[in-house]
Structure 1
Amino acid sequence: MFPQTDRLSLRRFRPEDAPALAAYRSVPEVARYQSWISPVPVEAADALVRSYAAGDPSAPGWFQYAVELKDDGALVGDVGVGLHENRMQAEIGFTLAPNRQGHGYAGEAIGAVLRDLFERRNLHRVSAECDARNLPSARLLERVGFQREGLRPEFTWLKGEWTDDLLFGLLAERWRTLTA
Protein backbone atom coordinates (compact mmCIF):
# COMPACT_ATOMS: atom_id res chain seq x y z
CA MET A 1 0.00 0.00 0.00
CA PHE A 2 1.33 3.42 -0.96
CA PRO A 3 0.82 6.63 1.05
CA GLN A 4 -2.01 8.92 -0.03
CA THR A 5 -3.36 12.33 0.95
CA ASP A 6 -6.47 14.23 -0.12
CA ARG A 7 -4.49 15.90 -2.93
CA LEU A 8 -1.62 13.51 -3.64
CA SER A 9 -0.96 9.93 -4.65
CA LEU A 10 2.45 8.53 -3.83
CA ARG A 11 3.01 5.62 -6.16
CA ARG A 12 5.53 3.55 -8.04
CA PHE A 13 7.12 5.28 -11.04
CA ARG A 14 5.76 4.41 -14.50
CA PRO A 15 7.47 4.68 -17.93
CA GLU A 16 5.37 7.69 -18.92
CA ASP A 17 6.87 9.65 -15.97
CA ALA A 18 10.27 10.02 -17.67
CA PRO A 19 9.60 13.32 -19.50
CA ALA A 20 8.23 15.03 -16.36
CA LEU A 21 11.10 13.68 -14.22
CA ALA A 22 13.61 14.94 -16.80
CA ALA A 23 11.91 18.34 -16.89
CA TYR A 24 11.94 19.12 -13.17
CA ARG A 25 15.32 17.54 -12.49
CA SER A 26 16.80 19.61 -15.35
CA VAL A 27 16.00 22.92 -13.65
CA PRO A 28 19.36 24.25 -12.36
CA GLU A 29 17.84 25.52 -9.09
CA VAL A 30 16.37 22.05 -8.41
CA ALA A 31 19.64 20.26 -9.18
CA ARG A 32 21.83 22.76 -7.30
CA TYR A 33 21.96 20.87 -3.99
CA GLN A 34 21.40 17.40 -5.43
CA SER A 35 23.87 14.78 -6.63
CA TRP A 36 22.86 14.92 -10.30
CA ILE A 37 23.93 17.42 -12.95
CA SER A 38 21.34 19.30 -15.00
CA PRO A 39 20.07 18.99 -17.58
CA VAL A 40 18.80 15.43 -17.21
CA PRO A 41 18.17 13.98 -20.69
CA VAL A 42 14.91 12.08 -21.19
CA GLU A 43 16.95 8.94 -21.94
CA ALA A 44 18.63 9.19 -18.54
CA ALA A 45 15.28 9.88 -16.87
CA ASP A 46 13.86 6.82 -18.62
CA ALA A 47 16.61 4.67 -17.11
CA LEU A 48 15.97 6.22 -13.68
CA VAL A 49 12.24 5.57 -13.95
CA ARG A 50 12.86 1.92 -14.88
CA SER A 51 15.22 1.56 -11.92
CA TYR A 52 12.79 3.26 -9.52
CA ALA A 53 9.87 1.14 -10.77
CA ALA A 54 11.79 -2.06 -10.05
CA GLY A 55 12.38 -1.10 -6.40
CA ASP A 56 10.75 -2.71 -3.40
CA PRO A 57 9.56 -0.25 -0.74
CA SER A 58 9.68 -2.94 1.96
CA ALA A 59 13.27 -4.02 1.23
CA PRO A 60 16.39 -2.37 2.67
CA GLY A 61 17.85 0.25 0.35
CA TRP A 62 16.38 3.20 -1.47
CA PHE A 63 12.87 3.34 -2.90
CA GLN A 64 11.67 6.38 -4.82
CA TYR A 65 7.98 7.35 -4.66
CA ALA A 66 6.48 9.32 -7.53
CA VAL A 67 4.36 12.22 -6.20
CA GLU A 68 1.28 12.72 -8.37
CA LEU A 69 -1.54 15.26 -8.12
CA LYS A 70 -4.87 13.46 -7.81
CA ASP A 71 -6.84 16.17 -9.63
CA ASP A 72 -4.90 16.11 -12.91
CA GLY A 73 -2.47 13.18 -12.66
CA ALA A 74 0.61 15.42 -13.02
CA LEU A 75 3.93 14.15 -11.65
CA VAL A 76 5.14 16.97 -9.39
CA GLY A 77 8.09 15.40 -7.61
CA ASP A 78 9.51 12.41 -5.80
CA VAL A 79 10.29 11.29 -2.26
CA GLY A 80 13.05 8.76 -1.61
CA VAL A 81 13.17 6.45 1.40
CA GLY A 82 16.39 4.66 2.27
CA LEU A 83 15.33 1.81 4.55
CA HIS A 84 18.11 0.57 6.84
CA GLU A 85 18.90 -3.15 6.91
CA ASN A 86 17.40 -3.39 10.42
CA ARG A 87 14.05 -2.13 9.02
CA MET A 88 13.69 0.07 12.12
CA GLN A 89 15.11 3.29 10.69
CA ALA A 90 15.25 5.11 7.40
CA GLU A 91 16.52 8.23 5.68
CA ILE A 92 14.39 10.40 3.41
CA GLY A 93 15.05 12.83 0.59
CA PHE A 94 12.73 14.79 -1.69
CA THR A 95 12.53 16.79 -4.89
CA LEU A 96 9.65 18.94 -6.09
CA ALA A 97 9.11 20.64 -9.45
CA PRO A 98 9.69 24.39 -9.01
CA ASN A 99 6.36 25.35 -10.58
CA ARG A 100 4.62 23.22 -7.91
CA GLN A 101 6.48 24.67 -4.93
CA GLY A 102 4.68 26.95 -2.50
CA HIS A 103 1.45 24.91 -2.45
CA GLY A 104 2.29 22.63 0.47
CA TYR A 105 2.78 19.54 -1.71
CA ALA A 106 6.27 18.69 -0.43
CA GLY A 107 5.25 18.86 3.22
CA GLU A 108 2.11 16.89 2.48
CA ALA A 109 4.03 14.17 0.64
CA ILE A 110 6.72 13.93 3.32
CA GLY A 111 4.03 13.82 6.02
CA ALA A 112 2.29 10.95 4.22
CA VAL A 113 5.56 9.02 3.96
CA LEU A 114 6.35 9.66 7.63
CA ARG A 115 2.86 8.51 8.64
CA ASP A 116 3.41 5.29 6.68
CA LEU A 117 6.88 4.72 8.13
CA PHE A 118 5.94 5.40 11.75
CA GLU A 119 2.32 4.25 11.95
CA ARG A 120 2.06 1.34 9.52
CA ARG A 121 5.66 0.09 9.40
CA ASN A 122 6.55 0.95 13.02
CA LEU A 123 9.95 2.50 12.37
CA HIS A 124 11.81 3.93 15.34
CA ARG A 125 13.65 6.78 13.59
CA VAL A 126 13.77 8.68 10.30
CA SER A 127 16.67 10.95 9.40
CA ALA A 128 17.40 13.46 6.66
CA GLU A 129 20.25 15.69 5.63
CA CYS A 130 20.61 18.65 3.32
CA ASP A 131 23.17 21.13 2.12
CA ALA A 132 23.38 23.87 4.76
CA ARG A 133 22.72 26.50 2.08
CA ASN A 134 19.41 24.87 1.17
CA LEU A 135 17.38 26.84 3.70
CA PRO A 136 13.94 26.06 2.18
CA SER A 137 14.57 22.30 2.57
CA ALA A 138 15.87 22.75 6.13
CA ARG A 139 12.77 24.79 7.06
CA LEU A 140 10.50 22.18 5.46
CA LEU A 141 12.10 19.38 7.46
CA GLU A 142 11.61 21.34 10.68
CA ARG A 143 8.01 22.18 9.71
CA VAL A 144 7.09 18.49 9.38
CA GLY A 145 8.65 17.70 12.77
CA PHE A 146 12.33 16.94 12.24
CA GLN A 147 14.80 18.32 14.75
CA ARG A 148 18.18 19.61 13.68
CA GLU A 149 20.80 17.30 15.15
CA GLY A 150 24.03 18.63 13.77
CA LEU A 151 26.21 20.32 11.22
CA ARG A 152 29.07 18.60 9.39
CA PRO A 153 31.35 21.35 8.05
CA GLU A 154 32.81 20.77 4.59
CA PHE A 155 31.69 17.16 4.70
CA THR A 156 30.50 16.53 1.14
CA TRP A 157 32.45 17.11 -2.08
CA LEU A 158 29.73 18.08 -4.54
CA LYS A 159 30.05 19.66 -7.96
CA GLY A 160 33.58 20.89 -7.40
CA GLU A 161 33.23 22.27 -3.88
CA TRP A 162 33.10 21.19 -0.26
CA THR A 163 29.65 21.65 1.26
CA ASP A 164 28.36 21.71 4.81
CA ASP A 165 25.64 19.18 5.69
CA LEU A 166 22.78 19.78 8.10
CA LEU A 167 21.58 16.63 9.89
CA PHE A 168 17.98 16.10 10.99
CA GLY A 169 16.20 13.36 12.90
CA LEU A 170 12.68 12.42 13.91
CA LEU A 171 11.89 9.73 16.46
CA ALA A 172 8.63 7.77 16.52
CA GLU A 173 7.88 9.09 20.02
CA ARG A 174 8.10 12.70 18.79
CA TRP A 175 5.97 11.84 15.73
CA ARG A 176 3.26 10.42 18.00
CA THR A 177 3.33 13.58 20.12
CA LEU A 178 3.14 15.85 17.07
CA THR A 179 0.24 13.94 15.49
CA ALA A 180 -1.78 13.24 18.65
Structure 2
Amino acid sequence: MKKLGLMKGSEGMETARLVLRRFRPEDAPALAAYRSAPEVSRYQSWQAPVSTEEAERLVASFSATDPRYPGWFQYAVELRDAPGLIGDVGVCRTEDGRQAELGFTFGPAFQGRGYATEAVARVVEFLLVEEGLHRVSANCDGRNVRSASLLERVGFRREGHLVQSTWMKGEWTDDILFGLLASQYRAARDGYGR
Protein backbone atom coordinates (compact mmCIF):
# COMPACT_ATOMS: atom_id res chain seq x y z
CA MET A 1 0.00 0.00 0.00
CA LYS A 2 1.42 3.39 -0.96
CA LYS A 3 1.81 5.78 1.96
CA LEU A 4 0.78 9.32 1.12
CA GLY A 5 0.52 10.93 4.57
CA LEU A 6 -1.59 13.88 5.58
CA MET A 7 -3.01 15.95 2.77
CA LYS A 8 -1.64 19.48 2.92
CA GLY A 9 -4.05 22.07 4.23
CA SER A 10 -6.64 19.65 5.65
CA GLU A 11 -7.09 17.00 8.31
CA GLY A 12 -7.11 14.02 6.03
CA MET A 13 -5.20 11.01 4.80
CA GLU A 14 -5.00 8.99 1.64
CA THR A 15 -4.38 5.37 0.77
CA ALA A 16 -4.04 3.66 -2.59
CA ARG A 17 -7.84 3.58 -3.01
CA LEU A 18 -9.29 5.90 -0.37
CA VAL A 19 -9.45 9.44 0.94
CA LEU A 20 -10.08 9.98 4.66
CA ARG A 21 -11.21 13.55 5.25
CA ARG A 22 -13.30 15.87 7.37
CA PHE A 23 -17.09 15.46 7.04
CA ARG A 24 -18.92 17.92 4.78
CA PRO A 25 -22.65 18.89 4.73
CA GLU A 26 -23.25 16.93 1.51
CA ASP A 27 -22.30 13.71 3.36
CA ALA A 28 -25.51 13.72 5.41
CA PRO A 29 -27.76 11.71 3.02
CA ALA A 30 -25.19 8.91 2.61
CA LEU A 31 -24.53 8.85 6.37
CA ALA A 32 -28.28 8.55 7.05
CA ALA A 33 -28.60 5.78 4.46
CA TYR A 34 -25.85 3.48 5.71
CA ARG A 35 -26.46 4.12 9.41
CA SER A 36 -30.10 3.18 8.80
CA ALA A 37 -29.26 -0.18 7.20
CA PRO A 38 -30.20 -2.99 9.63
CA GLU A 39 -27.04 -4.97 8.86
CA VAL A 40 -24.94 -1.89 9.72
CA SER A 41 -26.79 -0.68 12.81
CA ARG A 42 -27.22 -4.14 14.36
CA TYR A 43 -24.00 -4.02 16.42
CA GLN A 44 -23.93 -0.24 16.95
CA SER A 45 -25.28 1.84 19.81
CA TRP A 46 -27.50 4.10 17.69
CA GLN A 47 -31.10 3.34 16.80
CA ALA A 48 -32.05 2.97 13.14
CA PRO A 49 -33.38 4.45 11.05
CA VAL A 50 -31.28 7.63 11.15
CA SER A 51 -33.18 10.56 9.63
CA THR A 52 -31.58 13.02 7.24
CA GLU A 53 -32.06 15.75 9.87
CA GLU A 54 -30.26 13.65 12.49
CA ALA A 55 -27.48 12.91 9.99
CA GLU A 56 -27.16 16.64 9.26
CA ARG A 57 -26.70 17.29 13.00
CA LEU A 58 -24.13 14.49 13.22
CA VAL A 59 -22.20 15.82 10.23
CA ALA A 60 -22.17 19.33 11.72
CA SER A 61 -20.89 17.89 15.00
CA PHE A 62 -18.27 15.72 13.27
CA SER A 63 -16.96 18.61 11.18
CA ALA A 64 -16.63 20.92 14.21
CA THR A 65 -14.09 18.77 16.07
CA ASP A 66 -10.30 18.70 15.77
CA PRO A 67 -8.57 15.37 14.97
CA ARG A 68 -5.59 16.15 17.21
CA TYR A 69 -7.55 17.12 20.36
CA PRO A 70 -8.91 14.79 23.06
CA GLY A 71 -12.30 13.27 22.29
CA TRP A 72 -13.90 11.80 19.20
CA PHE A 73 -13.13 12.79 15.63
CA GLN A 74 -14.85 11.04 12.71
CA TYR A 75 -13.04 10.70 9.40
CA ALA A 76 -15.33 10.53 6.38
CA VAL A 77 -14.11 7.84 3.94
CA GLU A 78 -14.57 8.02 0.19
CA LEU A 79 -13.09 6.30 -2.84
CA ARG A 80 -10.27 8.22 -4.54
CA ASP A 81 -11.75 7.70 -8.01
CA ALA A 82 -15.43 8.15 -7.09
CA PRO A 83 -16.11 10.86 -4.49
CA GLY A 84 -18.97 10.25 -2.09
CA LEU A 85 -19.18 8.96 1.46
CA ILE A 86 -18.82 5.17 1.83
CA GLY A 87 -18.07 4.95 5.56
CA ASP A 88 -16.37 6.53 8.53
CA VAL A 89 -13.58 5.84 11.00
CA GLY A 90 -13.78 7.40 14.45
CA VAL A 91 -10.81 8.15 16.71
CA CYS A 92 -11.14 9.11 20.37
CA ARG A 93 -7.92 10.49 21.81
CA THR A 94 -7.36 10.40 25.56
CA GLU A 95 -6.83 13.59 27.56
CA ASP A 96 -3.08 12.97 27.86
CA GLY A 97 -2.77 12.35 24.10
CA ARG A 98 -0.91 9.08 24.49
CA GLN A 99 -3.68 6.65 23.59
CA ALA A 100 -6.73 6.47 21.36
CA GLU A 101 -9.74 4.25 20.75
CA LEU A 102 -11.11 3.68 17.29
CA GLY A 103 -14.30 2.50 15.64
CA PHE A 104 -15.52 2.16 12.07
CA THR A 105 -18.73 1.90 10.07
CA PHE A 106 -19.10 1.26 6.32
CA GLY A 107 -22.09 1.14 4.03
CA PRO A 108 -23.31 -2.35 3.03
CA ALA A 109 -22.35 -1.88 -0.63
CA PHE A 110 -18.74 -1.19 0.41
CA GLN A 111 -18.24 -4.03 2.87
CA GLY A 112 -16.23 -7.13 2.00
CA ARG A 113 -13.93 -5.27 -0.43
CA GLY A 114 -11.09 -4.40 1.96
CA TYR A 115 -11.98 -0.72 2.19
CA ALA A 116 -12.54 -0.76 5.96
CA THR A 117 -9.31 -2.70 6.53
CA GLU A 118 -7.42 -0.21 4.36
CA ALA A 119 -8.92 2.80 6.15
CA VAL A 120 -8.40 1.42 9.65
CA ALA A 121 -4.81 0.38 8.83
CA ARG A 122 -4.06 3.90 7.60
CA VAL A 123 -5.50 5.51 10.73
CA VAL A 124 -3.53 3.09 12.95
CA GLU A 125 -0.32 3.92 11.08
CA PHE A 126 -1.04 7.64 11.46
CA LEU A 127 -1.70 7.34 15.19
CA LEU A 128 1.12 4.97 16.16
CA VAL A 129 3.88 5.98 13.73
CA GLU A 130 3.28 9.55 12.60
CA GLU A 131 1.68 10.86 15.79
CA GLY A 132 3.69 8.64 18.15
CA LEU A 133 0.84 7.43 20.35
CA HIS A 134 1.64 4.59 22.76
CA ARG A 135 -1.49 2.49 22.22
CA VAL A 136 -4.68 2.19 20.19
CA SER A 137 -7.67 0.18 21.40
CA ALA A 138 -10.99 -0.94 19.96
CA ASN A 139 -13.92 -3.07 21.01
CA CYS A 140 -16.78 -4.73 19.24
CA ASP A 141 -19.92 -6.70 19.92
CA GLY A 142 -18.99 -10.35 20.47
CA ARG A 143 -21.28 -11.40 17.60
CA ASN A 144 -19.59 -9.07 15.12
CA VAL A 145 -17.12 -11.60 13.72
CA ARG A 146 -16.25 -9.52 10.64
CA SER A 147 -15.18 -6.49 12.68
CA ALA A 148 -13.16 -8.67 15.05
CA SER A 149 -11.40 -10.28 12.09
CA LEU A 150 -10.64 -6.88 10.57
CA LEU A 151 -9.02 -5.69 13.80
CA GLU A 152 -6.88 -8.82 13.97
CA ARG A 153 -5.81 -8.39 10.31
CA VAL A 154 -4.60 -4.88 11.10
CA GLY A 155 -2.52 -6.21 14.01
CA PHE A 156 -4.71 -5.82 17.08
CA ARG A 157 -4.68 -8.59 19.66
CA ARG A 158 -7.64 -9.71 21.73
CA GLU A 159 -7.19 -8.47 25.26
CA GLY A 160 -10.48 -9.45 26.82
CA HIS A 161 -13.97 -10.82 26.47
CA LEU A 162 -16.62 -9.23 28.67
CA VAL A 163 -19.58 -11.59 28.87
CA GLN A 164 -23.03 -9.97 28.73
CA SER A 165 -21.51 -6.63 29.69
CA THR A 166 -23.63 -4.24 27.62
CA TRP A 167 -27.40 -3.84 27.53
CA MET A 168 -28.15 -2.82 23.96
CA LYS A 169 -31.35 -2.83 21.96
CA GLY A 170 -33.20 -5.01 24.43
CA GLU A 171 -30.55 -7.67 25.07
CA TRP A 172 -27.30 -8.30 26.89
CA THR A 173 -24.31 -8.46 24.55
CA ASP A 174 -20.67 -9.48 24.95
CA ASP A 175 -17.82 -7.04 24.28
CA ILE A 176 -14.51 -8.13 22.76
CA LEU A 177 -11.62 -5.83 23.70
CA PHE A 178 -8.65 -5.27 21.38
CA GLY A 179 -5.38 -3.41 21.77
CA LEU A 180 -2.28 -2.57 19.76
CA LEU A 181 0.91 -1.09 21.20
CA ALA A 182 3.15 1.09 19.06
CA SER A 183 6.11 -1.17 19.85
CA GLN A 184 4.22 -4.25 18.61
CA TYR A 185 3.07 -2.43 15.50
CA ARG A 186 6.59 -1.27 14.62
CA ALA A 187 8.04 -4.75 15.24
CA ALA A 188 5.41 -6.39 12.99
CA ARG A 189 5.89 -3.76 10.29
CA ASP A 190 9.70 -4.03 10.41
CA GLY A 191 9.37 -7.82 10.23
CA TYR A 192 7.65 -7.42 6.85
CA GLY A 193 10.53 -5.31 5.54
CA ARG A 194 8.54 -2.08 5.25
Structure 2 length-normalised TM: 0.91
1:129 aligned residue: 139
2:33 aligned residue: 23
Instruction: Give the CA deviation at 1:160.
Output: 1.1
Q: Where do residues 1-180 of structure 1 align in structure 2 (5 Å cutoff)? A: 1=6, 2-180=12-190
Q: Where do 5+ consecutive residues of structure 1 fail to align?
A: none
* 4+ long deviations beyond 6 Å: none
Give CA-to-partner distance per residue, 1:104-160, whole Å, 9 cap, x none: 100000011011101111000000000000000001100110000010111111111
> What amino acid maps onto 1:162 in structure 2?
W
Using the aligned pairs only, state the percent identity. 61
Instruction: Give the CA deviation at 1:63.
Output: 0.4
Q: Where do 5+ consecutive residues of structure 2 fail to align?
A: 1-5, 7-11
- Equivalent-residue separation in structure 1 for 2:189 and 2:114 (angstroms): 17
- Equivalent-residue separation in structure 2 for 1:112 and 1:136 (angstroms): 18
Instruction: Give the CA deviation at 1:162.
Output: 1.1
Q: Is the 8 A contact 2:20 2:76 kept in 1?
A: yes
Secondary structure of 2:14's match?
coil
Secondary structure of 1:123's match?
coil
Secondary structure of 1:9's match?
strand
- Equivalent-residue separation in structure 1 for 2:188 and 2:55 (angstroms): 37
- Equivalent-residue separation in structure 1 for 2:22 and 2:84 (angstroms): 14
- Equivalent-residue separation in structure 2 for 1:18 and 1:135 (angstroms): 28
Q: Is the 8 A contact 2:27 2:84 kept in 1?
A: no
- Equivalent-residue separation in structure 1 for 2:188 and 2:106 (angstroms): 24
Instruction: Give the CA deviation at 1:3.
Output: 2.0
> What amino acid maps onto 2:157 in structure 1?
Q
